[in-house]
A and B are shown apart, each in its own frame.
Chain A
Amino acid sequence: MSSTSNQVLGADGLNLWYGTHHVLKGITLGITRHRVTALIGPSGCGKSSFLRCFNRMNELIPESRVEGRIHFNGRDINDPEVDATEVRHRIGMVFQKPNPFPKSIFDNVAFGPRVNGYRGDLGELVETSLRRAALWDEVHDRLGQSALALSGGQQQRLCIARALAVEPEVLLMDEPCSALDPASTAKIEDLIGELKERYSIIIVTHNMQQAARVSDQTAFLLEGEIVEYGRTGGIFTRPEDPRTEDYITGRFG
């Protein structure tokens, strides 16, 4: 699949193994720029593993093996000449459980820019990132405090700010609300709506309503394969594949 200007990322014949376990089986899929793409599917279908292919995080798992291509603005990120840290610099990630560093709020956000050799005004960048993550108003007077003193929802928004601070083009979100209460979840969902104006977002979620609320495109994965991929409205109202219908209506998974 060739990359067109409105496609930021694309998987092309992507296979992934953990040891002998074949996790992803020949996935081909394009991600549209400035849209929210949701990956849904039952536990163990490979949606998180798929997400981690986009920033080469699977490399950190010994015994994992990737075949096939991931295009990012037309370049194959799995090319051995491409530096994984450069890929991760441009494709940020937010994890399932908030994982702030045991450092101050400021240092959490500044960590990425620092390791990437940012030369501008760090204070300004931290403020912008915290504002974009809708956290600035709550923490601006205590940036020096430990990030661990924040609530779970605040911690997750801090992790979003931290990811934004390296100025990525794409944000990968791996079930970002699964450890949060409904009020915090609502805040993050609102935030996702705002963020897509600047970033392209891929979100893995277990929550059908969440996928329907926040995403423009939805891909349904089952046992390492894409069953159906299309506009979220279409997938949730008129699924073409009976397996998709079974899943979104709660008949399994």
Chain B
Amino acid sequence: MKSRIRPSGRYEGLIIGVLFLCAVVSVLTTAGIIITLLRETIGFFREVSILEFITETRWTPLFDPKHFGILPLITGTLMITAGAALVALPVGTATALYLSEYASDGVRRLLKPLLEVLAGIPTVVYGYFALTLVTPAIRSLFPETNIFNAAGAAIVVGIMIIPMVSSLSEDAMTAVPRSLREAAFALGATRREVSTGVVLPAALSGISASYILAVSRAIGETMIVTLAAGATPRLTLNPLESIQTMTAYIVQVSLGDTPFGSIEYRTLFAVGMGLFTLTFTLNIAGALITRRYREVYQ
């Protein structure tokens, strides 16, 4: 053993510096994104009033007469998100509950990797799945359904985010101490009562975190809605109609030959800012909810 004193001061300082830089990179990236968004958005609002942006019910920036009301894009996005949540939250939670409380080890070992596969499918494949399988199925039930419609896209976005809900929720449920389950069983509770009366509430903070993440993912989902939901910004709550989401609009404009610095170009950033605000608010709400329901058990 060498008894030499290591030059810990400078070496440690270097390590700390490198780690600090790594941490700073993501902060700077976020800051950069916000600044870019803000600058172009401010440029946009020099030409279009904020009032028109949030109250006008038509969104037609690419052809005359131009209207700049973001509401149709927001309702489109929210309709997809609500539909996806309607599919993914119950199915995902039930799946998690089954895996954590009911499934035998063998079934769990088989089912979990299969679910993870769902998460690995490219979203463009999901998009075609919506177009070629789900939409025809909907049209056989409701013949008036448009080829491009919100319902099909929403269902498939929901399917896509099921593993997110189920896997995170299952982690939260598995983390509930065995001793709590035993306590409930010892009081004469059935397996269902243990699941819904003890495990579910004790895991609520983790489960709601998984919901928030999944919903954020649905809001930001782009490929499926671009392929299957249409490109018709429309203020509607009818899921069988063609709509456009904020993300799909951004794709549409990015693909076209929109001149740099034009008003059409700037709508990209205004819509992006709207999307950012939406997910940001959701994440804050999520953090608050999670903190409210956090349970500490020894």
Contact = CB atoms under 8 A, between A and B. Distances in A.
Interface of A: 55, 57, 60, 62, 85-86, 88-89, 92-93, 95, 97, 99-103, 111-112, 114-116, 148, 159, 162-163, 166
Interface of B: 104-105, 177, 179-190, 193, 197-198, 201-202, 295-298
23 contacts: A85-B188, A85-B190, A86-B188, A88-B186, A92-B187, A93-B186, A99-B177, A99-B179, A100-B183, A101-B180, A102-B295, A102-B296, A111-B189, A111-B197, A112-B189, A115-B190, A116-B187, A148-B295, A148-B296, A148-B297, A162-B183, A163-B186, A166-B188
A98 B295 CA distance: 16
A163 B185 CA distance: 11
Given A101-B184, A163-B186, 4 more contacts: A95-B183, A103-B201, A114-B197, A166-B187
Contact of A112 (B188, B190, B295): B188
Nearest to A146: B295
Contacts of A86: 188
A112 B187 contact: yes
A175 B40 CA distance: 68
Contacts of B180: 99, 101-102
A95 B187 CA distance: 12
B184 A111 contact: yes
Contacts, number: 74
B297 A102 contact: yes
A167 to B, nearest CB: 11
B186 A57 contact: yes
A21 B180 CA distance: 26
Contacts of A100: 183
A171 B297 CA distance: 25
A159 B183 contact: yes
A85 B189 contact: yes
B261 to A, nearest CB: 56
B191 to A, nearest CB: 9
A117 to B, nearest CB: 10
Contacts of A97: 179, 298
B187 A111 contact: yes
Contacts of B202: 101-102
B187 A162 contact: yes
Nearest to B189: A115
Nearest to B183: A99
B5 to A, nearest CB: 45
A115 B187 contact: yes
A85 B187 CA distance: 8
B177 A163 contact: no
Contacts of A166: 187-188
Contacts of A93: 186
A97 B178 CA distance: 12
B197 A60 contact: no
A97 B180 CA distance: 11
A60 B185 CA distance: 9
A163 B187 contact: yes
Nearest to A90: B188
Contact of B188 (A62, A115, A148): A115
A98 B35 CA distance: 53
A96 to B, nearest CB: 9
A122 B188 CA distance: 17
A60 B187 contact: no
Contacts of B177: 99
A102 B182 CA distance: 14
Contacts of A55: 186
A42 B120 CA distance: 52
B184 to A, nearest CB: 7
Nearest to B190: A85
A116 B188 contact: yes
A103 B296 CA distance: 11
A85 B189 CA distance: 6
A85 B192 CA distance: 12
A167 B177 CA distance: 26
Nearest to B198: A101
B151 to A, nearest CB: 39
Contacts of A162: 183, 187
A108 B202 CA distance: 13
A186 B181 CA distance: 28
Contacts of B295: 102, 148
B255 to A, nearest CB: 51
A217 B104 CA distance: 40
Contacts of B298: 97
Nearest to B104: A62
Given A99-B180, A102-B297, A115-B197, A89 B185 contact: no
A99 B182 contact: yes
Nearest to A93: B186
